[in-house]
Amino acid sequence: MKNKITLKELAKLLNVSVSTVSKALHDSPEISPKTVERVKELAKLHKYRPNPVAVNLKSSKSGTIGVIIPNIANTFFANVLSRIEARAQKAGLQVITYISNESLAREQQITEMLTSGFVDGVLIAISEETQRKKEYEHLFNLVDYDIPVVLYDRVNLDLPVDKIGIDDEHSFGDATRLLQTRGIKKIGIATSIHHLGVGKLRITGYRNALKDEKDFYIANSSKPDTLREKTRKLLVEDKVEAILCSDFESTMLVYRMAYENKIKIPEDLKVIGFINGDVARYLTPSISYVEQFPGEIGEEAVELLVDRIENRVAGKPPINKTIHTKLIHMESTGF
């Protein structure tokens, strides 16, 4: 039998977010008692109940979890997935992996399949397009079906589920301050992921560390040609002394632009990148990088999900876990 009303419809009637309704129905301490009472009264009035499939999921388990990754070509996500597989196997769980290819439509299609009841829980890093368009209804549908969900890496979203990510803001803030202690004034940032939650946080960390400076040097674009021109300007015209690269693409671009313009690393330009350590070591010169510990993220994500599946944290509000990054010094900073 179809629900008489959905979480989204309840939220609209109450003029609150879907997240608030979900949290209130689960007695989250984040929601005021008055709001909890309003939500529960309206839910009772409209005979709201979790989707029947969710009842099935609670009474019988499949021993399988679904994992959605946005980009298999990204070594970070490949490493996260590898550890997810290993930790899930240890917990006696099978893993079904889906690749969204950074597509909102594909992500919606996958989550629709996952509501049919053949997985016990879902791990997801949301796609670039989902974040750019800010269309999250399909994710709230998973919550509406009462399917345990854990967001990993890309967690800057008000969804009432457990989350595991890194300290993106602090990682670039700390890197910027370190460069300042070395007497470096003109510090730039290059990024092709400025529109993603993690990219925004890294820029925020950079800006906060330079709050007393009047100039910021930022090259940001998801279009390769535009990013290339903006990066060239930072290196050649602005003559930044150091640059932070917030992703693999911008790191490779900075190295290429430095080479093309005869800029020596680290003598003329210090470089720090968000890049896989195995790649960083083989560049010439080797690049100082922010270690993101993808394996730890994968393992912790599975543990959070298993705790929800097994009702070990029943009734508790969503858990937010942060993995602390580490700056690994190589040749590109010269110290």
All structural domains of the chain with their residue ranges:
7-50, 64-166+294-323, 168-293
Q: pTM of the predicted model, to two decimals? A: 0.81
pLDDT band at 1 (very low <50, low <70, confident <90, very high): very low
Q: Could you say which DSSP state residue 234 is in? A: I
- State which CATH number among 3.30.565.10, 3.40.30.10, 3.40.50.2300, 1.10.10.10 fits the domain covering 64-166+294-323: 3.40.50.2300
- Percentage, residues of the chain above pLDDT 70: 95
- Sign of the CA dihedral running 53, 163, 158, 81: negative
Same fold, 64-166+294-323 and 168-293: yes
Contact criterion met (CB below 8 Å) for 63 and 94: yes
Determine the Cα–Cα distance for residues 53 and 58; give it in Å rounded to an integer: 9
Contact criterion met (CB below 8 Å) for 100 and 112: no
**What are 41-90's pLDDT values in tens digits?**
988 888 887 655 555 545 567 899 999 999 999 999 999 999 999 999 99
Most confident of 95-104, 112-121, 130-139, 310-319: 95-104
Task: Give residue 126's identity as a one-letter amino acid code.
Answer: I
Instruction: Average the pLDDT over each of 60-69, 173-182, 231-240 and give the range with the smallest value.
Output: 60-69
What architecture is domain 168-293? 3-Layer(aba) Sandwich (3.40)
107, two tokens: 């992500």
Q: Which of 252, 248, 310, 245 lies closest to 284, judged by CA?
A: 252
Determine the Cα–Cα distance for residues 275 and 74; give it in Å rounded to an integer: 10
Query: Once rounded to an integer, what is the mean pLDDT over residues 137-144?
Result: 88
Contact criterion met (CB below 8 Å) for 20 and 11: yes
pLDDT at 317: 87
Instruction: Average the pLDDT over each of 227-231, 234-238, 312-316 and give the range with the smallest value.
Output: 312-316
Determine the Cα–Cα distance for residues 323 and 115; give it in Å rounded to an integer: 29
Measured N-to-C along each axis, helices 137-144 and 7-14 cross at an angle, to the nearest 10 degrees, of: 110
Arithmetic mean of pLDDT over the chain:
91
* CA distances for 278 relative to 47, 70, 191, 259, angstroms: 55, 21, 21, 21
* CA distances for 195 relative to 100, 125, 154, 203, angstroms: 18, 15, 12, 10
Q: Which comes out higher in pLDDT, residue 298 or 47?
A: 298
